[in-house]
Amino acid sequence: MPLPSSIVILTGAGISAESGLGTFRDKDGIWTKYPLEDLATPEGFARNPDFVHGFYNDRRRQLKTARPHAGHEAIARLQTACEAEGREFLLVTQNVDNLHEQAGSTNVVHMHGELTQIRCMACHAVMEWHEDIGREVPCPSCSEAGYLRPHIVWFGEMPLEMDRISLALSHCSLFISIGTSGAVYPAAGFVQEALYAGAKTVELNLEPSENAHVFSESQYGPASEILPGWVERLIA
Ligand code: BV8
């Protein structure tokens, strides 16, 4: 059976769970331990930048030892198969880790930003950064100190590359949602956009998400266990 003409995949924190990076809304999730308003909003950062820098510094450090699993590798194989047949493929992730890239995925759209990038609020430069940052660190681009922030999309801020994502959704034939609770917009609305485009919609998750009823097909279980078989059946 030929591969679908155009695939869009959306991933969330669930696909990084088995690599040891925390999810947000599961039991013991990040937002059950840390106040979202103080850590993932521009207001929270303005109130206490050191607290927010510390939170993201900890998560950036975790990246150094986190490794992708068979689920990430299956997604990278699917991209290779699609591109070998000239099919369109777009991987959009809500995650700010680099596990998809470590597994071989390319052109990954990080709609909520990346832990390994920082942004200067004085000169607006966005730069690769793998170490801790703090208020005292001068911007490598404009040398101003006190203006660096994580290049992360917080609540109330516009996610990145939305035009590119909407264009891909408007003509996709298969939309696959993996490891996300469907609690955060606009990502949680992508399945509806794909449906309007006439796409087949699939949810692969540990358990039904908040918009599970919208999907035409679903399979539940840990991503490292269910993704490889699901992708092999699609590619075969
Ligand atoms: C915006 C920062 C507009 C990075 C994040 C009322 C109604 C609707 C919307 C809103 C509303 N009030 C406010 C809003 C908008 C708001 C929103 O959606 N709020 C929600 C809470 C109601 N959205 C925004 O503010 C967005 N911006 O709307 O801008 C705008 C318009 C014009 C001009 C300017 C602005 C910005 C949203 C981005 C916020 N940043 N994070 C970081 O620190 O990581 S969001 C945060 O949630 C994370 O980034 C995360 O990626 C994201 C989504 O969570 P999930 O990835 O789904 O993770 P979660 O823990 O929830 O779920 C894990 C899932 O995995 C579970 O289903 C679980 O079953 C599954 N799982 C677990 N283990 C496994 C597994 N699956 C498979 N295998 C496993 N092993």
- Domains in the chain, please, with CATH? 1-20+68-112+159-236 (3.40.50.1220), 22-65+114-152 (3.30.1600.10)
Distance spanning both ends of the chain, measured CA to CA: 7
Q: Give which of 217, 220, 168, 214 is closest to 195, Cα–Cα.
A: 214
State mean pLDDT over 155-170. Answer: 98
Label residue 97 left, alpha or beta by phi (over 0 means left) and psi (-120 to 50 means alpha). beta
Please name the amino acid found at residue 221.
G
**Residue 31: predicted pLDDT:** 87
pTM here is 0.96
**Contact criterion met (CB below 8 Å) for 173 and 8:** no
Residue 91: pLDDT band with limits 50, 70, 90: very high
Whether 112 sits among the annotated catalytic residues: the reply is yes
**Residue 1: predicted pLDDT:** 67
**Residue 132: predicted pLDDT:** 96
The C-alpha atoms of residue 19 and residue 40 are separated, in whole angstroms, by 22
Among 112, 124, 130, 213, the active-site one is 112
The Å distance, Cα 79 to ligand 1 centre, comes to: 24
In order, the DSSP letters of 217-232 are EEEES-HHHHHHHHHH
